[in-house]
């Protein structure tokens, strides 16, 4: 595991963004863990989160020209990633959408930089893929090209069929999906730590029931 992955999991657990217990998912499954990126809710944690995204994106080698954050959670995420890249010397434009089009002022439903070139979508997780679909449509309608999706956590569990929600997005839109960490990384992180042995066992049981491979 790359150093930044373990550091990210440390960070997410300390911030109580990654919680362990029993949580009901949108699909009605009882999950032994829960990830809520909305709890990166202050300046220090958001700055650090952007740095983790930047490391994962840079490590992937993907070529892109701008960032797009789907409303609502993706808005601060894309902004934090743009700031993190600026700190490395790369100044990137970023944009986001309104849920409802504005009929006055500049109008439209895209805020921020004009969408052009290759656009990387930044979100927290992919559940049903709805925000990705809407983002792809908005980016293409603006004459730009969606080139990938960056998320914080890939749960690696089945979506509508035998594939994971992430794999379904890759299949349906032909886009690579990058992540800071995935379920493999989480299990590797918990392995060998006695205080997490029961949690790891619960995750492995859940994974056996709902998980998919990469």
83-93 residue pLDDT tens: 999 999 999 99
Give the per-residue pLDDT at 145.
Answer: 98
Exactly one of 26, 47, 99, 104 is catalytic; name it. Answer: 104
Q: What is the mean pLDDT of residues 78-99?
A: 96
Give CA–CA dist 54/56, Å, rounded: 6
Report yes or no: 208 and 157 within 8 Å, Cβ to Cβ. Answer: no
DSSP-derived pairing of the beta strands 108-112 and 177-182: unpaired
Give the per-residue pLDDT at 103.
Answer: 53
Q: Please, which residues bridge with residue 164 across strands?
A: 158
Exactly one of 26, 47, 99, 102 is catalytic; name it. Answer: 102
DSSP-derived pairing of the beta strands 66-69 and 118-122: parallel
Model confidence at 157: pLDDT above 70 = yes
Model confidence at 137: pLDDT above 90 = yes
Give CA–CA dist 156/176, Å, rounded: 15
What domain count does the chain have? 1
> Helices (DSSP H) in 42-164: which residue ranges?
43-60, 74-87, 130-141
Full domain range(s) for residue 103: 3-210
Measured CA to CA in angstroms, residue 10 lies from 45, 177, 189 at distances of 12, 23, 9
Whether 179 is a known active-site residue: answer no
Q: What percent of the chain has pLDDT over 90?
A: 79
What CATH number is given to the structural domain containing 180?
Answer: 3.40.50.2020
8-44 residue pLDDT tens: 999 999 999 999 999 998 778 999 999 999 899 999 9
Model confidence at 122: pLDDT above 80 = yes
What's the pTM value of the predicted model, to 2 decimals?
0.92
Whether 26 is a known active-site residue: answer no
180-202 residue pLDDT tens: 999 999 999 999 899 999 999 99
Cβ atoms < 10 Å from Cβ of 206: 18
């Amino acid at each position: 595991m790359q150093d930044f992955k373990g550091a990210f999991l440390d960070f997410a657990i300390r911030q109580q963004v990654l919680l362990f217990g029993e949580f009901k998912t949108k699909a009605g499954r009882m999950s032994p863990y829960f990830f809520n990126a909305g709890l990166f809710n202050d300046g220090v944690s958001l700055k650090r989160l952007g740095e983790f995204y930047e490391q994962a994106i840079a490590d992937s080698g993907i070529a892109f020209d701008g960032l797009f954050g789907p409303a609502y959670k993706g808005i601060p995420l894309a902004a934090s990633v743009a700031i993190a890249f600026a700190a490395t010397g790369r100044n990137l434009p970023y944009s986001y959408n309104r849920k409802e089009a504005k009929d006055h002022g500049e109008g439209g439903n895209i805020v921020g930089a004009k969408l052009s070139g290759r656009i990387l979508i930044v979100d927290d997780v992919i559940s049903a893929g709805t925000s990705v679909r809407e983002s792809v449509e908005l980016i293409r309608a603006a004459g730009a090209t969606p080139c990938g999706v960056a998320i914080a956590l890939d749960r690696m569990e089945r979506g509508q069929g035998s594939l994971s929600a992430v794999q379904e997005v890759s299949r349906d839109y032909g886009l690579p999906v990058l992540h800071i960490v995935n379920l493999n990384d989480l299990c590797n992180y918990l392995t060998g730590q006695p205080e997490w042995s029961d949690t790891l066992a619960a995750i492995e049981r859940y994974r056996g029931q709902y998980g998919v491979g990469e």
